[in-house]
Amino acid sequence: MNSVTLPDQKIMYNALLHKDSSFEGIFFVGVKTTGVFCRPTCTARKPKKENVEFFPSTKEALRYGYRPCKVCHPLQRNGETPAWLKGLLKEIEQNQVVKFKDADLRERNIDPARVRRWFKKYHGMTFQTYLRLLRINTAFGKIKHGEKVIESAYDLGYESLSGFAESFKKTTGFSPSKSKEKRIVTVTRILTPLGPMLAGVIDEKICLLEFVDRRMIETQIERLKKYLNAEFIPGQSKLFDELDKQLKEYFNGKRKKFDLPLSLPGTEFQIKVWKELQRIPYGTTRFYQQQAVALKNPKAIRAVAKANGDNRIAIIIPCHRVIGKDGQLVGYGGGMWRKQFLLNLERKNS
């Protein structure tokens, strides 16, 4: 078992006791007294600390002879779209105008309550809210590119212009007529072995990729809103598919460099720091001082560290590759255990 890639055992056991969902996908726990392994969020009775051992993957737990728990189903990836829902989501992707009432779902042999529960659990919103946000996002794009407000409203299934305008303003914070002056960041959640990440796209460029449990994520979002003069709305983008693909390749050790367009709003110094981060080779590390020297400003060590902390695009802009001069892991918004995981992953596949 490769315990180096895992958080401290006290942290993991505490997460198990409190059913901490932020550790989903990070570790699995084997219960010696029952021979089963579980998710951190398993609702079964909690074992004593001396009766558990932790694994970084289901593969490792199975290799050590544990069988999957029948309560929490650890072999099913947390948050992964279940088979019964995939067809419905494909329909929505192909036609974002379509409306689904409970009766429509039942015709497809889908329980409406089950759909609501899934969307509430994994997206923090109801199914109908999700559909409405998609329609508003699509409407914004149409108006932004020259289509009249009234045409966009009726094309997307709204029966009245006033109803469309009210829904649009409630969602975006501005009226449809101001769409050409405003911008929208389309956001979604992407699952990774280190937990879910929030991804944002604007003008077909990635402007945000952060772990959803990062403490400063709300602050980062507010800063982006001001920098970009934009609102954040859940939606779909082809770039999300490519981002998900490249992240999977990275975590599987098959990708060492990302090839994705990025939007990096910030100060001139921050942008220089973030671009310099991208020059650190895969599988290597740099000290903050070395980064400052590379920027031809050797005394700006603290400023470099602060700019690293303000990085909004984790992994792709590899701030995890910068460490303290004594070799210690310092300063990572996603948590030191994630930083250690990423460094171990890269060293292993270098």
Residues marked active site are found at 319
Q: Judge contact between 251 and 192, C-beta under 8 A.
A: yes
The DSSP output letter for 7 is P
Angle (CA) 24 338 319, round 5°? 140
Q: Judge contact between 191 and 246, C-beta under 8 A.
A: no
Among 316, 350, 320, 323, residue whose Cα is nearest residue 338: 320
Residue 228 DSSP SS3: helix
Q: How far apart are the first and last CA of the chain?
A: 21
Distance CA 196, CA 288 (A): 28
> Hey, what are 293's tokens?
């020297």
Distance CA 208, CA 200 (A): 5
Q: Give DSSP secondary structure letters for 248-273.
A: HHHHTT--SS----B---S-HHHHHH
Distance CA 93, CA 134 (A): 9
The residue written with tokens 């149409």 in the block is 142
Sheet containing 197-202: give its strands across.
Answer: 205-211, 197-202, 183-190, 230-234
Distance CA 305, CA 331 (A): 8
